[in-house]
Amino acid sequence: MRTTSSTLTLANWWDHFLARWGVNRSGHRVEPGLYALGDPTPDSPVLVTANYTLSFDALRSALRNTDAYLLVLDTEGINVWCAAGKGTFGTEELGHRIEATELAGIVRHRELILPQLGAPGVNAHEVQRGSGFSVKYGPVRAADLEAYLAAGEAAPEMRRVRFGLLDRVLLMPVELVHVFWPTMGVALLLWLAAGGLFAAGLVSAVAAGVVLFPILLPWIPTRDFTSKGFVLGGTVCTPFALTLLPWKQGGLAWIGPAWAGAFLLMALPVAGFLALNFTGSTPFTSRTGVRREIQKYTRPMAAMLGGGMILLIALIVIGLVSER
């Protein structure tokens, strides 16, 4: 059994910063197993968490006045909510960790306190049948744990899942890191082939999906995330499309609208896809809902992007021919 404290060090905060920016994304983990926080006794509570450093640190730093045991599951460095959806924060791993740590010989009681957002991955009846430990679900946020432990139950407000502006903004850096270099590479190619305005429009579409979408999510009309991305992408990209309308090549009047159409056909699915990708970061969605949305929009987005690329190539060829 390892020991830990509720005090976060400078190294912990640096680790959190790197994790937020997606640096060594799979490396932010602690060793799974049992940890003694403070000076626990055989009657102290046992709280279960993931071995993602941000999850582990949020739990222990919230228990400044509590002696407890922390049972850390091997979630492969993934947070509780995502790991519950993937199955790593689940019944099998919980049962294995209870047995591996010989928890039954360390505490007198037979009760485990799990985070509420871990519930989708755990079958409480199977855990009790296999290990003898009953499962209780604590509050959504670690900050409410000490009040929960003192009261012995969660107040209704502690059960409420929030996903406010700050929560959404905190997710933006890692998404920005993922799309930055691919976006710059494609933008450079578009700048060389189609001009700076076309490239700037693509960057704006990406910014709409990665930066503006998390901020404006609750206020964008429509229900599906992808259609929300279309709405936001269309709002941001329409000025670029209007600027492309007057373009002329070889005296052809339809060239400008064709350039605008090619741009929108490429930009809208980019913003829509990035918005759809955000479903994995928010508690607003369900797995079945996300699955339906993927099935509904993937082919139309692929068709739009493919059509836009074909039209763009055709326009570039027409431009080269008209210059001769």
**Per 3-state DSSP, what percentage of the chain is helix, strand, and coil (rounded to 5)?**
65, 10, 25
Please tell me the predicted confidence (pLDDT) of residue 279: 85
Neighbours of 7 (CB within 10 A): 9
**0.85 cut: is pTM over it?**
no
| Cα–Cα distance measured from residue 87 to residue 239, given in angstroms and rounded to the nearest whole number | 44
Side by side, the strands of the sheet bearing 111-114 are 2-4, 33-37, 68-73, 46-50, 111-114, 134-137
Let me know if domain 2-161 sits in CATH 2.40.360.20: no
pLDDT along the chain (324 residues), means of 10: 96 95 91 97 98 97 97 96 90 97 97 95 95 96 95 92 88 90 94 90 95 94 94 95 82 86 96 91 77 94 96 88 68
Please tell me the predicted confidence (pLDDT) of residue 11: 97
SS3 323: coil
| Cα–Cα distance measured from residue 68 to residue 140, given in angstroms and rounded to the nearest whole number | 18
Q: Where are the domains of the chain?
A: 2-161, 166-322
What phi, psi does 152 have (nearest 5°)? 80, 0
Q: How many CA atoms lie within 13 A of 61 on its CB side?
A: 12
